[in-house]
Chain A
């Protein structure tokens, strides 16, 4: 992956190519080995005039041509969906080596300092509702149900910044205090500016190979995709403080993988807001209903705790270049499972989870992706 940050001087093509070349070098493969590619991006049409063909542009920069390339759009889960398509392409038996790319450049958007509006919220956005307003209401309801406080949520931002200090790819790496998070300008009560993920630019890429190709390449540093799952909304949810779309995406992934949620050692979840990271603990079945706040206050989801979450620093510290996020989460989980995460390493991590969710339709989110990864061999 590339670093995440604000890079107005970089273009979609060269930013994406940087990630692609890094992934190919990491895999020990030449570009000519790639047989199919999927590129996840969510807002390149509106911001850069390139609705389609982002994959083609990135691979042109990377010196790769003539491949079957498909652009993949699922809001904030675009990158995760691109990875999913690469996995499915290999599982289908049609291809042995697939490439998933995630990329976004938000630094050129005109509305600096203003909350990002969401695709899918055309009516709601017109009438004054945007993601921070929606998730502020989720946060309020979650506080009512569980006793979580604004401090509970602020602790998530503090935790994720602490993790980001050990991640050279993260955009914001300096420590935060609870006081700073609570005193930041209010966006939508109770979410302050530091409760919301920043925007940014970034790209990530992953090479997915078949069993046969894996054997030929040698399995050193390989990580297995144990499950890919994707869900769309059930619509008109009864509860503001829980997202059944995520519950279904997670439950399906655990079933496909034959993995128990209790086996997850490290997780990257969609912490677009501090409050939603806590809600995700419950919806992704990583803890019992209502236990999210305790996990935060007891430090269970911090490095050193029972189940470190957002070891990369999360969307809150990396920023959220929409299409890049899902694949960057994979980068973090793979790095963890390889034992190569250095000072942010989760000791003995064997099972990792990546979750991204986005979009909006009929009161519900529109696309939720959960992937599970398992270490192939014991760490050296």
Chain B
């Protein structure tokens, strides 16, 4: 799948590109056409911070094709609301806070993963 339209990298930080609903504020990633929360059809592009919380994670010991070693897989709830399924660069700390960082993904392609960070300021 072509990831290029879904994220940007600037100064080492990953921002995710989705949509925001002007009517109810709901944010979607990936972006969508109609708001899943209120049905509004005029969704606006939104840049997500890449910050979030690990909801759950596990080790993938037998990697699927395109990955050549075990890794951590996590469900991350982004601060803006959407849920993302991606790799973790390391086990999360107690606060389970993470941020999106550039990472090689399937078949070594450029993508993003989540890196543990300290608690919010």
Contacts and interface: CB of A to CB of B under 8 A. Distances in A.
**Physical interaction between A and B:** yes
B36 interface: yes
Interface stretch (B44-52, B60-68, B91-99): B60-68
Interface string B88-115: 0000000000000000011001011100
B56 interface: yes
B35 interface: no
Given A126-B105, A137-B75, A240-B56, A117 B112 contact: no
A137 B58 contact: yes
B85 A187 contact: no
A188 B6 contact: no
Nearest to B83: A363
Contacts of B113: 127-128
A128 B60 CA distance: 9
B62 A185 contact: yes
A240 B59 contact: no
A46 to B, nearest CB: 13
B82 to A, nearest CB: 8
Nearest to B106: A126
B62 A141 contact: no
Given A111-B65, A115-B64, A132-B60, A123 B1 contact: yes
A88 B71 CA distance: 45
Contacts of A132: 60, 62
A126 B111 contact: yes
Contacts of A125: 1, 64, 106
B58 A188 contact: yes
A334 B49 CA distance: 54
B111 A186 contact: no
Interface string A181-192: 000011111100
A128 B75 contact: no
Chain A CB within 10 A, most for which of B6, B84, B85: B85
A110 B65 CA distance: 9
Contacts of A189: 58-59, 61
A280 to B, nearest CB: 20
B65 A236 contact: no
Given A127-B113, A188-B62, A236 B67 contact: no
Contacts of B109: 126
B117 interface: no
Nearest to A138: B56
A60 interface: no
Interface of A is mostly: loop
Contact of A193 (B57, B62, B87): B62
Contacts of B61: 185-189
A127 B65 contact: no
B43 interface: no
Given A125-B106, A128-B106, A236 B36 contact: yes
B3 A126 contact: yes
A288 interface: no
Given A127-B85, A127-B112, A133 B73 contact: yes
A140 B55 CA distance: 12
B39 interface: no
Interface string A239-256: 010000000000000000
Contacts of B1: 122-123, 125-126
Interface in B5-55: 6, 30, 36, 55
A192 B83 CA distance: 26
Given A126-B111, A127-B112, A134 B62 contact: no
Nearest to A116: B64
A150 B106 CA distance: 29
Given A115-B64, A127-B113, 19 more contacts: A111-B65, A114-B64, A117-B65, A123-B3, A124-B85, A127-B3, A127-B111, A128-B60, A128-B73, A129-B73, A130-B64, A133-B73, A140-B56, A141-B56, A187-B61, A188-B58, A189-B58, A189-B61, A240-B55
Interface of B: 1, 3, 6, 30, 36, 55-65, 67, 71, 73, 75, 83-87, 105-106, 109, 111-113
30 contacts: A111-B64, A111-B65, A115-B64, A116-B64, A117-B64, A121-B85, A123-B85, A126-B106, A127-B84, A127-B105, A127-B113, A128-B73, A128-B86, A128-B87, A128-B106, A129-B73, A132-B60, A133-B85, A137-B75, A140-B58, A141-B56, A185-B62, A186-B59, A186-B61, A188-B58, A188-B73, A189-B58, A240-B55, A240-B56, A363-B75
